Amino acid sequence: MSFEIIDFHTHPFIENKNNICNYPGTSSMSAKNTFDVMQGLGVSAICGSVVEISNADYSNNWEKIKANNNTALELKKIYGDFYVPGFHVHPHYVEESIAEIHRMKENGVCLIGELVPYIYGWSDYSDSDFSEILSEAGKCNMIVSFHSRDDDAMDKMVQNHKDVIFVAAHPGEKADFLRHIERAKMSENYYLDLSGYGMFRYGMLRKAIDTFGVDRILFGSDFPTCHPGMYIGGVLMDNLVSDSEKEKIFSLNAKKLLNL
Q: Which stretch binds Zn ion (CB under 5 A): 160-168, 184-192, 215-223, 240-248?
A: 215-223
How many Å apart are CA 38 and CA 48, to the nearest integer? Answer: 14
The answer to whether 158 and 166 have CB atoms below 8 angstroms apart is: yes
Closest alpha carbon to 9 in 45, 54, 53, 61: 45
**Inter-axis angle of helices 128-139 and 94-106, nearest 10:** 20
- Number of residues located near Zn ion, criterion CB under 5 A: 2
Taking the complex as a whole, the smallest distance from the CB of residue 129 to Zn ion amounts, in Å, to 23
Residue 222 interacting with Zn ion (CB under 5 A) = yes
Q: How far is the CB of 139 from Zn ion (least distance, A)?
A: 26
Measured from the CB atom, the residue of 7 and 114 that comes closer to Zn ion is: 114
Beta carbon of residue 114, minimum distance to Zn ion (angstroms, whole number): 4
Range in contact with Zn ion (rule: CB under 5 A) among 79-87, 113-121, 159-167, 252-260: 113-121
Give min distance, CB of 168 to Zn ion, in A.
Answer: 11
Interacting stretch for Zn ion, rule CB under 5 A, among 77-85, 114-122, 138-146, 203-211?
Answer: 114-122
- Residue placing its CB nearer to Zn ion in the complex, 168 or 209: 168
Cβ closer to Zn ion: 76 or 147? Answer: 147
Nearer to Zn ion, 222 or 238 (CB): 222
Contact flags string 234-253 toward Zn ion, x per CB under 5 A: --------------------
Q: Closer to Zn ion at the Cβ: 127 or 193?
A: 193
Nearer to Zn ion, 114 or 127 (CB): 114
Terminal Cα-to-Cα distance of the chain (whole angstroms): 22
What are φ and ψ of residue 167, in 5° steps? Answer: -120, 110
What distance lies between CA 59 and its chain's CA centroid?
A: 26
Angstrom distance (rounded) from CA 173 to CA 161: 26
Residue (100 or 222) nearer to Zn ion, CB: 222
Strand order in the sheet with 190-193: 5-7, 43-49, 83-87, 111-115, 143-147, 165-169, 190-193, 217-218
| Sequence-separated (6 or more) residues with CB below 8 Å from residue 186 | 155, 158, 159
Radius of gyration of the chain (CA): 17
Which range touches Zn ion (CB under 5 A), out of 32-40, 112-120, 156-164, 239-247? Answer: 112-120
Of 61-69, 76-84, 219-227, 234-242, which part binds Zn ion (CB under 5 A)?
219-227
- Per-position b or e across 222-251, b if 16+ CB within 10 A of its CB: bbbbbebbebbebbbebeebeeebbebbbb
- Least distance (Å) between residue 52 CB and Zn ion: 13
Cα–Cα distance, 103 to 211 (Å, whole number): 38
Q: Residues in the site for Zn ion, rule: CB under 5 A?
A: 114, 222
